[in-house]
């Protein structure tokens, strides 16, 4: 159904056609923000649909998010609180957990010896700590003091070789305290330790709200990449890397997986990169199928579209 052609409104299909479509996948990956919840409120019908997909149709369901402001356990607790009945927190795929899992499994990173410098929020540090990894910098402010010059800062902070010693990774996430000092520290560590990991929670460029827009993580990491002359490894959608634990274990076959989301670039792009089916819902940026079709040729197109995920419930 579709697979690269014109997006189909699922509501226009017969019950038999929808039933056939439902049989085309075994696993469901579902985005969080804008797809099944808004902040701390479930979108109407979304919990019922995901629960029915698991309990009535026997689908394996995972929530996959680029939200790097919470740990996997915190996101699981939110899902439970909002009525989503996932089997365990292992059915949450988040950037903070993906980063921690990656470092634990990396032969280059030794948790007994290495620490992590975080340009980002405190959730990253909490997730790393749960995995036995020490970190510093997360959720902290670091700016030039009044009257201080960058030369003074660099000499004081980087003059000692120990400033970059045993730092096995630099992790970048959304950071409301982002500053020149943080960028300089990350640059110094990455240039001093060529073997250190350089990871970013996601490359979301901008967060759009009804009355304003704010920079996303991509804006922060771009500056560090430029001065360190290295590219960060993205640990969120649309990078297929985040699915490797599931694909390698055999728990997920991408050709039998449906990705549900509200963003063409991130969610549908992720499905395209991984060879998965895609369902776009209109509870995010694209409130109608015509909005989606206007992006054809510029952004990936979904296989199917629904105004909201709850519209699928009558077919389950």
Q: Are residue 78 and residue 130 in the same domain, yes or no? A: no
Distance CA 117, CA 122 (A): 12
Q: What span, in angstroms and rounded, lies between the C-alpha atoms of 56 and 118?
A: 43
Are 120 and 217 in the same domain?
Answer: yes
DSSP 118-175: EES-HHHHHHHHHTT-EEE-TT----PPTT--HHHHHHHHHSSGGGSTTEEEEEE---
Of all residues in the chain, the percent with pLDDT exceeding 90 is: 87
Question: In terms of domains, do 66 and 13 share one?
Answer: yes
* One domain, residues 39 and 141: no
Domain membership of residue 160 (yes or no) is yes
Residues in the chain: 316
pLDDT tens by residue, 219-245: 999 999 999 999 999 999 999 999 999
Query: Considering the chain, what percentage of its residues have pLDDT values greater than 70?
Result: 98
Catalytic residues: 31, 33
| pLDDT band (50, 70, 90) for residue 4 | low
Residue 99 lies in a domain: no
* Whether the bond into 238 is cis, omega within 30 of 0: yes
Instruction: Decide: 265 and 285 in contact? Cβ < 8 Å.
Output: no
CB atoms within 10 A of CB 264: 24
Same-domain check for residues 169 and 206: yes
Q: Is 15's pLDDT higher than 80?
A: yes
Distance CA 137, CA 139 (A): 6
Please name which of 107, 87, 81, 119 lies closest in space to residue 199, comparing C-alpha atoms.
119
The range of the structural domain enclosing residue 286 comes to 8-94+238-315
Same domain, 229 and 246: no
Domain of residue 212, CATH code: 3.40.50.1000
188 is in an annotated binding site: no
Which residue, of 182, 216, 234, is where some domain finishes?
234
Q: Does 83 share its domain with 20? A: yes
Residues 83-140 have pLDDT tens digits of: 999 999 999 999 999 999 999 999 999 999 999 999 999 999 999 999 999 999 999 9
101 annotated as belonging to a binding site for a ligand: no
Q: Looking at the predicted structure, is the pLDDT value of residue 41 above 90?
A: yes
What does the mean pLDDT of the chain come to? Answer: 95
- Residue-wise pLDDT tens digits, 187-219: 999 999 999 999 999 999 988 777 899 999 999
Q: In what order do the strands lie in the sheet with 92-93?
A: 8-9, 304-306, 277-281, 257-261, 27-30, 60-64, 92-93
Q: What span, in angstroms and rounded, lies between the C-alpha atoms of 95 and 266?
A: 14
Is 262 annotated as a binding-site member?
yes
Residue 31 annotated as binding?
yes
Closest-CA residue to 236 (of 97, 62, 50) = 97
Structure-block tokens of residue 203: 């490359």
| In-domain check, residue 159 | yes
Mean pLDDT of 39-59: 97
Please answer whether residues 169 and 196 qualify as being in contact, where contact means their C-beta atoms are separated by less than 8 angstroms. yes
Q: Are residues 161 and 251 in the same domain?
A: no
Number of domains the chain is built from: 2
């Amino acid at each position: 159904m579709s697979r690269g052609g014109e997006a189909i409104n699922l509501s226009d299909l017969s019950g038999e056609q929808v039933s056939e479509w439902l049989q085309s996948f075994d696993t469901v990956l579902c985005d969080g923000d804008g797809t099944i919840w808004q902040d701390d409120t479930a979108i109407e019908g979304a919990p019922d649909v995901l629960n029915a997909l698991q309990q009535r149709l026997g689908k394996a369901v995972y929530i996959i998010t680029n939200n790097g402001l919470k740990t996997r356990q915190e996101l699981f607790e939110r899902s439970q609180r909002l009525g989503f009945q996932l089997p365990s927190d292992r059915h949450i795929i988040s950037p903070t957990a993906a980063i921690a899992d990656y470092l634990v499994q990396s032969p280059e990173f030794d948790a007994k010896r290495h620490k992590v410098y975080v340009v980002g929020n405190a959730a990253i540090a909490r997730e790393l700590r749960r995995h036995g990894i020490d970190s510093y910098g997360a959720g902290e402010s670091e700016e030039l003091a009044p009257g201080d010059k960058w030369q003074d800062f660099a000499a004081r902070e980087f003059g000692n070789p120990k400033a970059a010693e045993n730092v096995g990774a630099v992790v970048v996430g959304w950071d409301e305290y982002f500053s020149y000092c943080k960028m300089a520290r990350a640059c110094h560590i990455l240039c001093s330790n060529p073997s250190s990991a350089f990871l970013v929670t996601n490359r979301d460029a901008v967060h759009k709200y009804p009355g304003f827009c704010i920079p996303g993580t991509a804006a922060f990491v771009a500056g560090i990449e430029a001065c360190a002359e290295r590219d960060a490894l993205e640990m969120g959608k649309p990078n297929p890397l985040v699915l490797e634990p599931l694909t390698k274990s055999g728990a997920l076959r991408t050709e039998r997986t449906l990705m549900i989301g509200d963003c063409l670039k991130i969610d549908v792009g992720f499905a395209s990169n991984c060879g998965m089916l895609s369902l776009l819902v209109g509870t995010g940026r694209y409130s109608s199928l015509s909005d989606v079709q206007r992006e054809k040729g510029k952004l990936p197109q979904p296989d199917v579209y629904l105004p909201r995920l709850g519209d699928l419930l009558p077919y389950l």
